[in-house]
C-alpha cells in the first residue's frame, strides 16, 4: 500500500520548469518595480505628522460635524449623496443602449468590438480629467461633479451590463417563441426578468463606488465633500479633516450596509 | 406581513382545482416613487440644468477633439518615465497589499476563528480601511513619506489591502472545512492547518482577484499623481493646467494602450487560473 502511494507520488505531474519560470518572472518584476520607488526624502518629522493626523481624526471638530448650514458636514454629505445618486442614475441609463450595442451575442462582431473599445477608453481616462473638461462646460460646482460621475459610471456599469446580457438564457426565449408570444411579450417575460435584478444590483454597487470616489471631484472644484476635505488637509487642519472623514466613513458604512441588504435580496429573487 | 402588504392586500387567485393562492402586489410603484423623490431632490441640490448642458456641451467635444485629433507624438519620450513609475507603483503596491492582508482575512473568517469578538473587530477594521478614499490615503502618505512614488505605492497598498480583505474572507468562509478540521484534530496549529488545508483551496481565486485588482490599480495610480504621489497624474495635471491638450491626449493614449495590454495578459492568466 505504502509503495503504491509512493509510486503515485513519484508519478505526479512535474511542472517545476513552468513553476520556476513563473517565479523568476514574478521576482524579476518585483525587483524592477522596487527599483523605481523613490521619494523626495522622508521628512524627519514624518512620525510626528502621523501622530498629528491620528489625533486630529480622533478629535474631530464637532462644531463642523453638527453644523446645519451649507458649510457644515451634513449638507456637504447630502450634496455628495445627490451627486453620486444622480450620477449613477444618468450613467446607468446611458449604459443600457451602449451595452446592448456592444454585447457580442446580439450585434455583429465588429460593432461589438468597437463598442467595447470605446467603453474601455471611457473607463481608462481618470475622473479628474473629465472633471476638468466639464468645468469648461458648466463652471465649478455640483453640476460638474454630477456630469463627471455619470461619465465615469458609464465605463464600469456598461461593462457589467454587457456581461449580464451575454449570460442571457436564450432557452427561455425559445420556449416563449414556441408558446406563440409576440416580440414585446418576449421582452417583457423573457428578457426583463432576467436582466432587471442584475442591472439594479450593478447600479447599486456603482452608487457605493461613486460615493467613495466623490472625494476625487473635490480636487478639481466639482462640488461635494472632496474640496473642503482636501483644503483642510492641505492646510494641516486635522480636526476639520477628521470631522469630514468621520462623517464620510459613517455614511459610506451605512450605505454599504443598506446596499448589501438590497443586493442580497435582488440576487435571491 | 409588512406594512405595504396591509395597505395593498395581496390578490387572491382561485386555481382550477379550487385552491386559492395569494399573489403579493408588486413593489414597483413604491420603488419608482422613492427613486423619483430622490432624483428630484438631487436635481435641486446639484443644480442640474438641461439648458446649460445642451447649449454648452460642445465645449466638451472641443477639448476632446483637441486631445485626440492630433496627439502630440513628439511628447511621447517624456511619457515613458512616469508611465513606468505608474506601473511599478501599482505592481509593488498590489503585491504588498495582497500579501499583508492574508493574516487579517484569516482572522476575519468565522469558520477559522470561532471567537466572535476578534472576527467583528477585524471586519470593522477592514470596513473602515475600505471607506478611506484612496486620494486621502495618498495625501496622508505624501505628508509622512514625502513626495514621490513611495507615497503612491503605499496608497495603492492600502487600497488593495481593503479590497482584497473583504473578498478573501468571503472566499475563505466558503471553503470545504473537512481538511482543516482533520488537521486540527491531528494536533496541527491553526496557522499550519490554514496553510495546508485552506490556502490550496483559495489560492486560484486569490491570485485571480489580485490580478483583477492590479488592473484597476494601474488606472487608479494615474490619479494619485495629482496629490504629488508620483506617476502619470503629475504630468497629466501639469499639461491640463497649461491647456496643452495634444500632450494630454498623448498621455491618455499611452495609458489606454498600457491598460489594454495589462488587461489582456491578466485576462489570459485568470482564465487559466479559475
pLDDT tens by residue, A4-41? 888 888 887 777 888 889 889 989 988 888 887 777 66
Smallest CA-to-CA distance from A197 within A205, A207, A186 is with: A205
C-alpha cell at B143: 505628508
With contact defined as beta carbons under 8 Å apart, do B46 and A83 qualify? yes
Residues B83 and B50 in one domain: no
* A42-97 pLDDT tens trace: 666 677 777 887 888 778 777 777 777 777 888 888 889 999 999 999 999 999 99
Measure in Å the smallest separation between the Cα of B20 and chain A Cα atoms: 23
pLDDT, residue B117, reads 93
d(CA A112, CA A116): 6
pLDDT, residue A44, reads 61
Distance of CA B209 to the CA centre of its chain: 11
Full domain range(s) for residue B94: 75-273
Last residue of a domain, one of B16, B45, B67: B67
Smallest CA-to-CA distance from A157 within A88, A86, A101, A259 is with: A88
Residues B129 and B251 in one domain: yes
CATH number of the domain residue B93 falls in: 1.10.3720.10
**B98 confidence band (pLDDT: 50, 70, 90):** very high
pLDDT, residue B243, reads 85
User: Percent of chain A at pLDDT above 70?
Assistant: 97
User: Percent of chain A at pLDDT above 90?
Assistant: 19
Is a pLDDT exceeding 60 seen at residue B1? no
Residues B175 and B234 in one domain: yes
Residues B177 and B244 in one domain: yes
Last residue of a domain, one of B67, B87, B117: B67
d(CA A240, CA A231): 10
Whether the CB of B65 is below 8 Å from some CB of chain A: the reply is no
Contacts with A265 (C-beta within 8 Å, 6 or more apart), sequence order: none
d(CA B120, CA B193): 22
d(CA A53, CA B76): 39
Number of domains, chain B: 2
C-alpha cell at B109: 473568517
Question: How is residue A38 annotated by DSSP?
Answer: -
With 0-12 / 13-18 / 19 or more C-beta atoms within 10 angstroms meaning exposed / middle / buried, residue A237 is middle
Residues B219 and B156 in one domain: yes
Nearest-by-Cβ selection for B144 from A50, A142, A245: A50
With contact defined as beta carbons under 8 Å apart, do B91 and A30 qualify? yes
pLDDT, residue B216, reads 86
Angle at CA of residue A233, ends B97 and B96, nearest 5°: 10
Residues B217 and B139 in one domain: yes
C-alpha cell at B9: 392586500
Tell me what the mean pLDDT of segment B55-69 comes to.
Answer: 85
Tell me what the mean pLDDT of segment A116-127 comes to.
Answer: 88
Tell me what the mean pLDDT of segment B146-157 comes to.
Answer: 88
pLDDT, residue B157, reads 94
pLDDT, residue B101, reads 94
Task: Kindly determine whether residue B91 and residue A33, on different chains, have CB atoms separated by under 8 Å.
Answer: yes
Range scoring the smallest mean pLDDT among A104-118, B4-18, B62-76, B85-99: B4-18
Whether the CB of A31 is below 8 Å from some CB of chain B: the reply is no
**How many residues can be counted in chain B?**
274
Whether the CB of A111 is below 8 Å from some CB of chain B: the reply is no
Residues B194 and B146 in one domain: yes
Residues B137 and B235 in one domain: yes
Nearest-by-Cβ selection for A38 from B128, B150, B263: B150
pLDDT, residue A76, reads 87
pLDDT, residue A269, reads 64
Mean pLDDT of chain B: 87
Question: How is residue A11 annotated by DSSP?
Answer: T
pLDDT, residue A158, reads 93
Contacts with A2 (C-beta within 8 Å, 6 or more apart), sequence order: none
With contact defined as beta carbons under 8 Å apart, do B86 and B221 qualify? yes
Residues B20 and B96 in one domain: no
Smallest CA-to-CA distance from A200 within B166, B25, B31 is with: B31
Question: What's phi and psi for B21, nearest 5 deg?
Answer: -125, 155
Return the CATH architecture of domain A49-268.
Orthogonal Bundle (1.10)
Task: Kindly determine whether residue A33 and residue B48, on different chains, have CB atoms separated by under 8 Å.
Answer: no
Q: Can you name the residues that pair with B21 across neighbouring β-strands?
A: B13
pLDDT, residue B137, reads 85
Residues of A in contact with B2 (CB under 8 A): none
Nearest-by-Cβ selection for B48 from A126, A136, A146: A146
* A132-167 pLDDT tens trace: 888 888 888 888 888 999 999 998 899 999 989 988
DSSP structure string for A48-59: HHHHHHHHHHHS
- Consecutive H or E run containing A98: helix A73-102
Angle at CA of residue B127, ends A230 and A246, nearest 5°: 40
* A156-198 pLDDT tens trace: 899 999 989 988 888 888 898 899 888 888 888 888 888 888 8
Domain boundaries, chain A: 2-35, 49-268
Task: Please tell me which residue, B177 or A67, carries the higher pLDDT value.
Answer: B177
pLDDT, residue B274, reads 67
**B144 confidence band (pLDDT: 50, 70, 90):** confident
Q: Return the top range by mean pLDDT from A67-71, A202-206, B14-18.
A: A202-206
How many other CB atoms sit within 10 Å of the CB of residue B39?
16
Angle at CA of residue B267, ends B265 and B268, nearest 5°: 65
Contacts with A71 (C-beta within 8 Å, 6 or more apart), sequence order: A64
Whether the CB of A33 is below 8 Å from some CB of chain B: the reply is yes
Which of B28, B131, B223 best probes binding to A when mutated, by most A CB atoms within 10 angstroms? B131
Contacts with B102 (C-beta within 8 Å, 6 or more apart), sequence order: B168
Smallest CA-to-CA distance from A141 within B232, B48, B131 is with: B48
d(CA B103, CA B117): 16
pLDDT, residue B165, reads 92
Residues B205 and B157 in one domain: yes
pLDDT, residue A206, reads 92
Residues of A in contact with B265 (CB under 8 A): none
* B217-243 pLDDT tens trace: 988 888 888 787 778 888 888 888 888
pLDDT, residue B206, reads 92
Residues B118 and B210 in one domain: yes
DSSP structure string for chain B: --HHHHHSPPEEEE-TTS-EEEEPPPSHHHHHHHHHHHHHHHHHHHT--HHHHHHHHHHHHHHHHHHHSS--GGGHHHHHHHHHHHHHHHHHHHHHHHHHHHHHHHHT-TTT---HHHHHHHHHHHHHHHHS-HHHHHHHHHHHH-SSHHHHHHHHHHHHHHHHHHHHHHHHHTS--HHHHHHHHTT--HHHHIIIIIHHHHHHHHHHHHHHHHHHHHHHHHHHGGGT-SSHHHHHHHHHHTT-HHHHHHHHHHHHHHHHHHHHHHHHHHHHH-
Given CA atoms B139, B142, B144, B150 in this order, what sign does their dihedral have?
positive
Last residue of a domain, one of B67, B95, B110: B67
d(CA B114, CA B110): 6
Is a pLDDT exceeding 70 seen at residue A218? yes
With contact defined as beta carbons under 8 Å apart, do A99 and A202 qualify? no
Task: Kindly determine whether residue B91 and residue A129, on different chains, have CB atoms separated by under 8 Å.
Answer: no
Q: Can you name the residues that pair with B20 across neighbouring β-strands?
A: B14
Amino acid at each position: 500500500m505504502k509503495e503504491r502511494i509512493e509510486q503515485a507520488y513519484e508519478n505526479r505531474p512535474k511542472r517545476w520548469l513552468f513553476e520556476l519560470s513563473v517565479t523568476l518572472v514574478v521576482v524579476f518584476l518585483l525587483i524592477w518595480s522596487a527599483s523605481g520607488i523613490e521619494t523626495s526624502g522622508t521628512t524627519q518629522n514624518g512620525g510626528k505628522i502621523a501622530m498629528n493626523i491620528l489625533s486630529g481624526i480622533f478629535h474631530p471638530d464637532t462644531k463642523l460635524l453638527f453644523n446645519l448650514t451649507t458649510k457644515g458636514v451634513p449638507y456637504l454629505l447630502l450634496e455628495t449623496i445627490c451627486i453620486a445618486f444622480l450620477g449613477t442614475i444618468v450613467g446607468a441609463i446611458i449604459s443600457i443602449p451602449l451595452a446592448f450595442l456592444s454585447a457580442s451575442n446580439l450585434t455583429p462582431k465588429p460593432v461589438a468590438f468597437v463598442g467595447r473599445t470605446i467603453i474601455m477608453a471611457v473607463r481608462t481616462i481618470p475622473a479628474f480629467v473629465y472633471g476638468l473638461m466639464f468645468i469648461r462646460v458648466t463652471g465649478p460646482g455640483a453640476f460638474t461633479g454630477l456630469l463627471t460621475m455619470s461619465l465615469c459610471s458609464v465605463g464600469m456599469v456598461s461593462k457589467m451590463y454587457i456581461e449580464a446580457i451575454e449570460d442571457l438564457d436564450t432557452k427561455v426565449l425559445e420556449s416563449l417563441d414556441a408558446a406563440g408570444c409576440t416580440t414585446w411579450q418576449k421582452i417583457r417575460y423573457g428578457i426583463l426578468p432576467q436582466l432587471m435584478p442584475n442591472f439594479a444590483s450593478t447600479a447599486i454597487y456603482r452608487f457605493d463606488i461613486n460615493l467613495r470616489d466623490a472625494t476625487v471631484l473635490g480636487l478639481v472644484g466639482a462640488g461635494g465633500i472632496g474640496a473642503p476635505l482636501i483644503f483642510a488637509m492641505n492646510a494641516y487642519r486635522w480636526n476639520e479633516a477628521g470631522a469630514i472623514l468621520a462623517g464620510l466613513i459613517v455614511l459610506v458604512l451605512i450605505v454599504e450596509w443598506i446596499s448589501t441588504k438590497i443586493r442580497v435580496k435582488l440576487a435571491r429573487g | 406581513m409588512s406594512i405595504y402588504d396591509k395597505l395593498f392586500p395581496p390578490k387572491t387567485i382561485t386555481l382550477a382545482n379550487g385552491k386559492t393562492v395569494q399573489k403579493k402586489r408588486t413593489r414597483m410603484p413604491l420603488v419608482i416613487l422613492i427613486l423619483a423623490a430622490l432624483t428630484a431632490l438631487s436635481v435641486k441640490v446639484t443644480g442640474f440644468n438641461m439648458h446649460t448642458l445642451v447649449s454648452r456641451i460642445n465645449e466638451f467635444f472641443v477639448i476632446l477633439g483637441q486631445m485626440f485629433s492630433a496627439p502630440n507624438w513628439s511628447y511621447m519620450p517624456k511619457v515613458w518615465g512616469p508611465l513606468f513609475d505608474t506601473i511599478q507603483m501599482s505592481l509593488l503596491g498590489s503585491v504588498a497589499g495582497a500579501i499583508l492582508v492574508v493574516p487579517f482575512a484569516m482572522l476575519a473568517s468565522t469558520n477559522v476563528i470561532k471567537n466572535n469578538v476578534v472576527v467583528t473587530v477585524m471586519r470593522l477594521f477592514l470596513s473602515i480601511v475600505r471607506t478611506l478614499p484612496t486620494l486621502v490615503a495618498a495625501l496622508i502618505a505624501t505628508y509622512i513619506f514625502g513626495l514621490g512614488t513611495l507615497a503612491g505605492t503605499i496608497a495603492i497598498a492600502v487600497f488593495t489591502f481593503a479590497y482584497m480583505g473583504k473578498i478573501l474572507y468571503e472566499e475563505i468562509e466558503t471553503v470545504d472545512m473537512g481538511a482543516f478540521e482533520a488537521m486540527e484534530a491531528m494536533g496541527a496549529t491553526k496557522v499550519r492547518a490554514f496553510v495546508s488545508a485552506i490556502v490550496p483551496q483559495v489560492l486560484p481565486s486569490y491570485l485571480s482577484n489580485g490580478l483583477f485588482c492590479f488592473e484597476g490599480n494601474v488606472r487608479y495610480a494615474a490619479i494619485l499623481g495629482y496629490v504629488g504621489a508620483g506617476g502619470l497624474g503629475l504630468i497629466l495635471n501639469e499639461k491640463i493646467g497649461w491647456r496643452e491638450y495634444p500632450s494630454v491626449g498623448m498621455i491618455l493614449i499611452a495609458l489606454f494602450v498600457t491598460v489594454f495590454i495589462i488587461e489582456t495578459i491578466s485576462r489570459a492568466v485568470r482564465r487559466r487560473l479559475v
